[in-house]
Amino acid sequence: MQTRKLGNLEVSALGLGCMGMSFSYGPPKDKAEMTKVLRGAVERGITFFDTAEVYGPYLNEELVGEALAPFKGKVVIATKFGFDLSAPPNFVASGPRTNSRPEHIKEAVEGSLKRLKLETIDLLYQHRVDPAVPIEDVAGAVKELIAAGKVQHFGLSEVSATTIRRAHAVQPVTALQSEYSLWWRRPENAEIAVLEELGIGLVPYSPLGRGFLTGAFDSTATFEKGDFRTALPRFTPEALAANQSLVAVLARIAGDKHATTAQIALAWLLEQKPWIVPIPGTTKLNRLEENIGAVAVSLSAGDIKAIDAAAADITGERYPEAMEKMTGR
């Protein structure tokens, strides 16, 4: 496995997003099976794992902490704070309540450390901007946690270029986590230029468009109860049908290269910048191996031109309005 740098934090060129093991895509998956996937990822060279206290809530951190305990010091675990979890979060209807008050951040970190079985968190993100708390106060709280040895690196998630600059002036930011893929390219508008200027890495979540870019879904696709894709505008039958043209181009290029559609979508991301580390999620070892194979795929300028043209006109918003309002852009 190749490695890449997020700021000065070295990780595998692909990470593993762990959310779907416990949250958002139907009921939590079998713990023993997910432990096999997590440990199998390490055996295959993955060193970067992404979780958050809200995934479950708490279940995902507990799973990751227990599964990766034998690899302490050999892997990088990223987690996130920023929500009030005193009531069950409802992402689709209204979004969970944000809470990034400094005292709450410190409480959240203590809980995450315990669940992850760590003495220090490798990378700590603010999950979503809290409009009630200045980002300087958030960065200052994390700076104190870094000084105390409880956190090593500071990250932000789904924020604007302006917010990145303001936070970075207080505590250097190591990574921005943001949705970024062939069907969500907004970070190209402003954030990527700021990241390059400041030496901050980018960690794209949902790099396969929540599975759409694998070619697994057509307009007849159905999802099990509890799968939040049922509420996403891009997973309506109309949008699924309209966006098949992008998948068709990926499939054609994949056929030419003896690769898969998913590998082409990930290879496109890896080609964008050397400091981009996608974190595709999966609950299956064979899919994990497929994703890892993307690191060895090379795309020509012609391939990228064809892909960019196909991705220029995507149908459907990525989130319902309430969820989109939670982003800090």
* Residue 37, domain member (yes or no): yes
Q: Which of 55, 125, 180, 205 is catalytic?
A: 55
The domain that contains 284 carries what CATH number? 3.20.20.100
Query: What pLDDT does residue 87 have?
Result: 74
* Residue 261, domain member (yes or no): no
* Residue 218, domain member (yes or no): no
* Residue 103, domain member (yes or no): yes
Residues 6+ apart with CB under 8 A from 303: 253, 264
Query: What pLDDT does residue 226 have?
Result: 79
Q: What angle do CA 160, 16, 151 make, to 5 degrees?
A: 60
* Residue 239, domain member (yes or no): no
Of the chain, the percentage scoring pLDDT greater than 90 comes to: 80
DSSP state of 134: -
Strand 9-12 relative to strand 16-17, pairing: unpaired
What type of residue sits at position 205?
Y
DSSP string, 79-115: EEE-B--SS---TTTT-PPB---HHHHHHHHHHHHHH
Provide the number of structural domains found in the chain: 1
Tokens found for residue 255: 């056929």
* Residue 149, domain member (yes or no): yes
DSSP state of 281: B
Q: Cα separation of 122 and 241, whole Å?
A: 41
* Residue 111, domain member (yes or no): yes
Query: What pLDDT does residue 295 have?
Result: 97
DSSP state of 318: S
Q: Would you say the pTM of this structure is higher than 0.85? A: yes
Tokens found for residue 39: 């440990």
Which tens digits make up the pLDDT trace of 258-315?
999 999 999 999 999 999 999 999 999 999 999 999 999 999 999 999 999 999 988 8
Q: Cα separation of 136 and 287, whole Å?
A: 40
* Residue 329, domain member (yes or no): no
Query: What pLDDT does residue 223 have?
Result: 84
Mean pLDDT calculated for residue range 234-249: 92
pLDDT of 44 > 80? The answer is: yes
Mean pLDDT calculated for residue range 192-211: 96
DSSP state of 267: H
What residues make up the domain containing 282? 3-210+270-297
Other C-beta atoms lying within 10 Å of the C-beta of residue 149: 9
- The reply to whether 58 belongs to the active site is no
Which tens digits make up the pLDDT trace of 64-96?
999 999 999 999 999 999 999 987 666 655 567
